[in-house]
Structure 1
């Protein structure tokens, strides 16, 4: 987490655009990071010190013009207000966030090359973003890279992290890929992981897990009732047999 000494004459929020106004290439650039956000909303429901933005511009002072943002597909910042009243953040403005830099950014590489491996990487490093994830499921062969590359900032340079899922101790989460179902779509998604490498479930999966638990409980109750009825029937048959022998059952 990096803090800056604020320069003077920075533009107020009212003078800044929401982003760079460039549309995404496909819907997955929105849906993939949105899944990460909804999982965090469940996991950190009691925390108010974090913010996860999707396709949101970061206005900063490490470039030539503080009015020109860099726009990742997702950003995670810790130590900031979770919500800004009354309408939320139109963008992430470093000087309005107590100079707290996002600790994690995600770039989803699309058909239109966006400088993820050079210009943007240099900007994020200069800005001080600790973890930088480049997700490139479709065009990694074209770009001569791997589909999943997580980098950690070490002495001003990004160092590729080995293994997957990759654990990020400063965040308290790991991140990786796995096939799952979200928005009724079965495919590979990005997920958060715990320290033991266990994937954290999506809301849909948690709902299905709860449904299965309720159904198991219903079946268990049904079997117990059936066994009780069978025991009662057996006892009644035995009592009747004893009466036929002239023995009154107790």
Structure 2
């Protein structure tokens, strides 16, 4: 565990706000933002909570406080709903030491085609950090991973224990979480929704749905830009590799020509003179 005075820990303005890894399925954009917009409707008058989507969480329970864990979503209670940074912007990241040492009460991970350590590395990080509830949603690859599509782990005596029941009620949060099929944009989709104590899913207000659609459009545009940048970088790397190979082949041809003339290429090395 890292133990450093607060004066030596970086501010959120000095730290990256996410891992810049493009999502590889639309659920990673849609579902966390849907939960966020539902909370805005449910807890609109409350100012003591924060729900972050794809936001870096910095903490001092690892080897390096500058290395974050980035959940698909996080929920914290007892913190400012909107916390201005020194530059006047909203939160750039979630640094536990900047939040009165309040650890997120819930972390959500959505498993995609490319495994992201949800069942091992991140599991250990959230457990060590002290996140009370760890939710893993794995609708497409649960058989591959030998888990269930929806799992909730609760921290008990410092260790995560798999919980049962869906929707799962979290009394410390005052909400339940579970799956439900709802029409969205004319298509029936399985969604993650907040539920009441009786197990009924809260409706998604139309105003929040409009805002969500707008937000998803922006996120899709950002994802496209990220993909384009990644493709451009891949093409640059391939071009550099081709150039290196061409130089190697030219050098090999020159060496072969020198040897055909009876010249030892090593004799031309200035260091041998």
Which residue does 2:119 correspond to in 1? Answer: 117
The aligned residue for residue 59 of structure 2 is 60
Tell me by how many angstroms 1:14 deviates.
2.3
Structure 1: runs of 5+ lacking an equivalent = 208-250
Structure-1 separation of matches of 2:98 and 2:190: 36
Q: Does the 8 Å CA contact 1:182/1:202 hold for their aligned counterparts?
A: no
Q: State the superposition RMSD in angstroms.
A: 1.8
Deviation at residue 205 of structure 1 after TM alignment: 9.4
Task: Answer with 195-204 or 75-84: which moved more.
Answer: 195-204
CA contact (8 A) 2:152 2:162 kept: yes
The answer as to whether partners of 1:182 and 1:204 remain within 8 angstroms in 2 is no
Which position in structure 1 is the counterpart of 2:184? 182
Higher percent of residues as helix: 2
Matches within 5 A, 1:44-193: 44-85=43-84, 86-193=88-195
1:206 is displaced (CA, Å) by: 9.0
1:222 is matched with none
Report 1:16-55 matches (<5 A): 16-55=15-54
1:111-158 CA-to-partner distances (Å, cap 9, x unmatched) read 111110111000000000000000000100110110000010001111
Q: Residue 204 of structure 1: CA displacement?
A: 3.0
Change (3 A) 1:100 1:112: same
**Are the equivalent residues in 1 in contact too, given 2:41–2:208 (CA < 8 A)?**
no
Aligned counterparts of 2:28 and 2:127: Cα–Cα separation in 1: 22
**C-alpha distance in 1 between matches for 2:4 and 2:187:** 45
Give the drift of 1:8.
5.1
Instruction: With the length of structure 1 as denominator, give the TM-score of the two structures.
Output: 0.78
Corresponding residue SS for 1:75: strand
Q: For 1:179 and 1:84, how far apart are their aligned partners in 2? A: 34
* Alpha-carbon shift at residue 28 of structure 1 (Å): 1.2
Secondary structure of the structure 2 residue equivalent to 1:77? strand
CA contact (8 A) 1:55 1:73 kept: yes
Question: 2:167–2:199: 8 Å Cα contact kept in structure 1?
Answer: yes
Q: CA 1:130–1:141 in structure 2 vs 1: closer, same or farther (change >3 Å)? A: same
Q: 8 Å contact 1:58–1:93 — kept in the other structure?
A: yes
Tell me, in whole angstroms, the C-alpha distance in 1 between the residues paired with 2:58 and 2:22.
18
Count how many residue pairs are aligned between Structure 1 and Structure 2.
Answer: 204
Between Structure 1 and Structure 2, whose CA radius of gyration is higher? Answer: 1
Note the alpha carbon deviations across 1:138-180, whole angstroms, 9 max, x for none: 1001101100000100011111111111100000001100101
Counterparts of 1:176 and 1:192 in 2: how far apart (Å)? 7
> When the two structures are superposed, what TM-score results if normalisation uses the length of structure 2?
0.71
- The answer to whether 1:11 aligns with 2:10 is yes
Change (3 A) 1:12 1:156: same
Cα distance between partner residues in 1 of 2:125 and 2:133: 13
Separation in 2 of the partners of 1:96 and 1:15?
A: 13
